[in-house]
Structure 1
Amino acid sequence: MTEEGESERYREFVEESADIVAVVDADGTVTYVNRAVERVLGYDPGVVIGDDWTEYTHPDDRETVTDVLEAVRTDPDEPRTVELRLRRADGSWCWIEATAQTRLDDGSIGSILVNGRDISEHKEREAELVTTKQRMKLALEGANLGIWDWDMRTGEVSRDKLLTEMLGYTQAEMGDRMRGWEHVVHPEDRDRHDEALAEHVAGRTPYYRCDHRLKTKSGEWKWVRTMGMVVERDEDGEPVRAVGIHQDIDDRKRAELALKEERDMFKEGPAVVFKWEDTDGWPIDYVSENVEEVLGYRSDELRSGAIEYADLIHEEDRERVGEEASELDAEGVESITLDPYRVKTASGDVRWVKEYTRVIESGGETDHLLGYLVDITERKRRETELQQFKAAVERSAHAIYITDAEGTIEYVNPAFEEITGYSEGVAVGKTPRILQSGEYDDEFYADFWGTIRSGAQWEAEMIDERADGQQIVLSQTVAPVIDEDGDVGKFVAVARDITDRKEREQKLREREQKYRSLFEGTRDALMVFDRDGYLDCNERALELFGIDTVEEFRERTPWDLSPPRQPNGTDSKVAALERIETAFEEGGAFFEWTHQRNDGEEFPSEVKLSRFEYDGQPAIHALVRDISERKKRKRELEEREEKYRSLFENTRDALMLLDRDGFVDCNERTLELFGIDSGDDFVGRAPWELSPPQQPDGADSKAAAMAHVETAFEEGEAFFEWTHRRTDGTTFPAEVKLSRFEYEGKPVLHALVRDVTARKEYERRLEEQRDNLGILNRVLRHDIRNDLQVITGYVERLADECDDASTGDHFETVRETVDHAVGLTKVAREMADVMLSTDEASRPVDLRPVLQSELDEVRSTYSRAVVSTETSIPRTTVEANDMLSSVFRNLLKNAIQHNDAATPQVNLSVTEDDDTVVVRVADNGPGVPEAQRETIFGKGEKGLDSQGTGIGLYLVDTLVESYGGEVGVEDSDAGGAAFVVELPKAE
């Protein structure tokens, strides 16, 4: 890849970074910012460039920003990190963690480089964490329990003061990370602790509980009970936060362990039971039969009184045992465990025993003692050998340390302290990570642990770091210690300080390393050869050609690394010799070449040969660069260009490319649409040349077209309707979409023009039909209402002139029928409004005043009916519009008009949940048969001619459905019908 290409790739990385990357000058003016500023803060990068950084900073944080800029200017080698608030484009504030560093010495930047990361969610979690801790403290303070709060995503742990003081630490010494707690867990308890936690995190236990030992600041171990629970998980079920308590159970736990130790003492080896008097010499009253197997004495021989228990104890231990046994006489002491001592067997041998003794009250003047003797001779022998080994280790000049199976240091010798600078008190309980210098990656340590945990020995020379920060070189051997079960129980490490030797070797290699570093560090294959063949090569050359060693590479010639012939048919050996000779004579040569790897695979390359002096003799330095990817990208680019050209030509819309000077390309559809003969005739024209002088709104076409073009260049796109003109003078309406993109290294616009003549004609006819329908609706309603008013007038006159009381009911029936017909014209008007409405958008409507208004109207209109509300009408808003009142007007009137009861009764009730409101209108009329409930709203076949019960219910169903709700009918408690309307609540 060329230097220009490499630079472009890094520029793309910066532009696509999720974090804000900005460059500001010494005064804080933004000179560059990547596209992340739009994703994070909502600003177009072009808007921010040229502004003072502090203009976007929260007033309370501006002094901090000024201090940071001053700090990086005065100390350019030290980056500064600060948390601050920046104003988003919508006016809100966003928390940013910004790191600033002076890059004045970098010619490509030459200012201050600022990286910003959005930490708003982190800040919100911190605030929630503070609230939770306050609540937990109040809840548990009275229980004298230490509490903890663990953010499982960040690893941060909040511990109260009581919790850390339980172990003797301050909160600062414990730290705020989970690993601060893990370091004090007893090595033998760690697996059990981790398993208990893992079981709960996986959801297999309701809470996490574990009794384990923690190391106090004084170095002692304290038994603590930990209980906790995951209280928050994310949407994927992963744990986010856990809280819990620590309880000091040290006294109780130690008592339990002491009891267990007494029960388990017989597991240490063969035990002999003695009972003797607590007097001088300890006369033996009883001894178990297995004494002969352990000490060689017969049981009856010891019980005869000829031998006292004191006679069995070794002379050198007798006095000490007596002193320890005297503790049983102390007040309140009922049992003791004596330190191991020696006893003599019947054959004169010496055995080591451990004694557990307690007082037995006999009821007489003399107490009796019951003792259990466990033979620990073999264990003592191993301990002696271990002491001898330890003495040798203590005197060793090499650093020796021992760890448990998990890598926790249990022992270090004096040489370890001298070589590493870490004392025994500091090192024990830590891991060998304290020696890490940062020179090795995770893969190195993974290989190390994989080797020794498999039971194999590991040897290496490593660069480590002393306690004072000085680097040292240690030749280390680490070997596993296998236990009786065949498992790795511990590790033993021996480290020899070879720092001085390595420094001497390093000085001898410095000159070669300088050259080799450059030689090996390049990304290209480098090799050195003379007329006889190769002299040297770098690792990249071995990788590129698939050759294992430099020695093997030296056996080759340049033409050995090529196919017999080049793609142009020339003989590879002849062509290679010619170019080598040219380089020797003229000082260099540069050409493309086809090479061949060791496995036979061929690849294209660039080769540069340069003559230089090597060990006093002329030689050639060859640089070989694999250009397979470049060739592949070139082919892909050509294929992609061909594919896009095919899409460009085959679309049904007119497509063209233009810059500020005019059109630069177009497809065939463009030529057809505008009646232009060829692309050459089209290219070079300006957009306004394909338009009439003025647009239908009177705007000048040239000025309007230039404005749309400039908008697309500045904002990235523009979409508008336009009137174009063909070369024959005819015009047509079109939709135009302009999109900015890069074409041959410069910004251009992609224009899509779609002829919308047919659509415009359809819209015109549709609007004309709507207008005609509206006029027809108004005329019919006007004429019908006039006729109905005339009928009403004549009926009233006839009623006044007729004295026959028997005809009064007929006149009343006529009046009600006319009123019903007037109501139908009102419903028809509302239905027409719905059918003619083009605005389908709903809005929040307060339900209470709508229902209350319709209830009041129906009560005043139908005085003979009883209209009640079962529940209070809640103050809530639903998604609807001004036509909502028509829904409930029709339902309430329908419940009375179609009611055959002597006194129509109508009951309205309202219920709601989180998302919907349900209004129920119930009556005591004849009800609706179940077979008719699907068709009562005209649902059988939608339309005014459907088999429903009237236009009113059809209007109800139409409106409710347009609001996104549902309407249905069911039986009421009074035996009639109940209409149920479910409406969505407004957002």
Structure 2
Amino acid sequence: MDRGGIYLIDESGGLRLERATESSQDFAQAVHRYPVDTAVARLAMAGMPFYAHHAELETTLSESERGEALRVLAIVPFRDERRVIGCLKVTSGRVDEVPMPARLALEAVASVVGLLFSRARADEVLRKFSRVIEQTASTVIITGTEGVIEYVNPRFSETTGYSAAEVIGRRPSLLRSGYTSPEEYRQLWHTIKGGDVWHGEFHNRRKDGSLYWEAATISPIRDEQGLITHFVGIKDDITDRKLAEAALKESESLLKQAQHLARIGNWRWDFRTDALIWSQELYRIFGRDPALPPANHTELMQYFTAESRARLSAAVDRTIHDGTPYETDLEMARPDGNRWVLAIGKAVRDRTGAIVELRGMMQDITDRKRAELARAEQEARYRAVIETASDGFWMLDKDGRILAVNEAYVRRSGYSREELLTMWIGDIEAQESPEEVRAHIEKVKRSGSDLFETRHRTRDGEVWPAEVNTSYSSTAGGIFFAFSRDITERKQAEESLRESENRYRNLFMHSPDCILVNHQGHITLVNRTCLRLFGVNSDQALVGKSPYDLFHPDFHPMIAARIRRMCETGEAAPPIEEKILRYDRSTVDVEVIAAPFPVGDGSAIHVILRDITERKALERQIIEVSTAEQERIGHDIHDGIGQQLTGASMLAAGIERRLIAAGHQSAATAIAELRTHLLNTLEEARSLARGLSPVDLDSEGLADALIDLAERITQTSGVKCRYEGLRTVQADNDILLVHLYRIAQEAVHNAVRHGAPGVVEIRLDPGPDGIVLTVRDDGKGFDITQDSYNRLGLRLMRYRAGIIGGRLSIAPAAQGGTLVRCEVPLSP
């Protein structure tokens, strides 16, 4: 074979030479393309190999080839997967025909060439398609059938802020903003999984959190079998369009709102078509049903009063005649009451100058008209009020010359109105000099107003105190308006109040009791006695402190409860005994009286502290003497009356025996009854003795007394009462044991009477420095801040604990009820 070439079928169906053997380059340049209607082109597109010898070539060769000495021709088509895309053409002048091995070889070569060109063409198409996708202005996203992203183009990253690496393998839901409803997403998936194309819009969120709008088209991609393998989404950023649409809607809405708020309706009357157009607000102004057409000229006139109708008709006629615009106030007669409108109209001309339509607006000015009428009425009322006011009133020009005064100032000044209208304000001023008056005038001009006190002089020379409230208006060349009030009585009252305050301050500062003021949780004022009581040299050591800083911590709950109750009820708290902490941290017993009083828009608390150290010492002595006397009486009853009753009962027993022996049974029975009464009386005497002296002066006396107390409470009240703890208590001070017993006794009685308990437990336990007495019940508990609790023996219990150097606390028990605890040190 001498020459050969590879031809491809081009867009028009002709053969275009793609490659040629080196020996046929010149030939190829001459026959680089065969037209569609040539035999070679037809043979190639037929899709079957063609082999011809010299005798058959005349009808096959092109005109340029016929001059060559060709003896054989071979045309072998090649194809891609679907169609013929070209052929191999081989010619020779040295052989007579193409042998079979050569034919098979040519056909094999053609198959390979077709495959190579098919792949090359597919790669080129793919490259072109890729360049289109990469460079398109639209966002392109390809996902699998489950919505996992497999590809995004650069425009996607520009729009969303996410790189391809950040989103591939994830779902498009990462762009969701929450503004697209779940129903839209369900409809989308239903559509594309059904094989249809979905069109819609998304309101998505970029990586930086900003929102944007997209118009999207999402289509399914199918394979050769028609199965959906992927989904491709093509989306365009329509944020600007959406913003423009929103702005347009907002503008239209604002226009309607503005017309509604301003009560302005517009209209148009086209003479060429006799068409009338009314805005929605105009219907509202006239109270006309929007379902009706706009009112024509005749109907429109019926809405107005006769006087307004005549003015409007004349104005419209002038505008129609010569184009004169009009603007006038009109009164409308409506069933719901007359209203006022401002009517404006003008003519519109065409190119020839002819008037072709009228345009205008009407504004509901009813409120303005009513305000003007009300203002006129108000001005009349103000004049009447000012003229009849008890305070003086005057109006000045910018330099202080009097322009007007009311009757009250005329009377107080002693001048006539005519005289005052010729005077300058400095003529009646008795406190400021003329220079100071002028400076004051300039000051008020700058500030706009002033409220001050001064003194004025009457016509007969009397000087009186005045409070002046003045304001300045720069309108009408500058005017001062001023009210003056005679404050003679107020000044007298203020002087009386100052004297009263001085008396109170002297009483406050020199009181023998400590008096302080608690305002908003801080001490704000103290008297001299407080300095001595707390051991400080200056009130600064106390002012600013919290009241809790001044009292022993044991009393803080009680103080908080009392403050809270006074704030809630506004009532004074009853006297109570507490301990304060002096500057050197020592304690002092005080009686506290507290009462709230109003301060501004809130309240403060007056607190009076009375040192009761001496009284406590006296009370301690009284209690000790009383206790000793009770013990003496108890011993006297036990040793005196008790012994006598014992002897009498024994004597009665002997008499009873002798009477029985003598046969006097009735007398013996009477003596037996007497003996029984004597024994009962003896038991009561012993019980009384135990009450007066309940504790034996030995180590087990206190525990035995508490056990006896528990047994008697159980027998008499039905409440289960038991004693637990120490059996022996070593104490040098016998009074200590008695007071501990009395504290326990009072605590138990309070629990039984007021706590409704089921069980009361009394315990004695060793403490860090001595002994701890506890009384615990499981009842309903009671509020120790209430007055009733003070009447239940708290004061006496605290007295007794203080006498023996103990610390008493009362608090709710952990499991309900009340816990009374007294910790007492014992001598070593």
Scaled by the length of structure 1, the TM-score of the pair is: 0.29
Higher relative CO (CA 8 A, sep ≥ 6), structure 1 or 2? 2
Mark the structure with the bigger radius of gyration. 2
Scaled by the length of structure 2, the TM-score of the pair is: 0.34
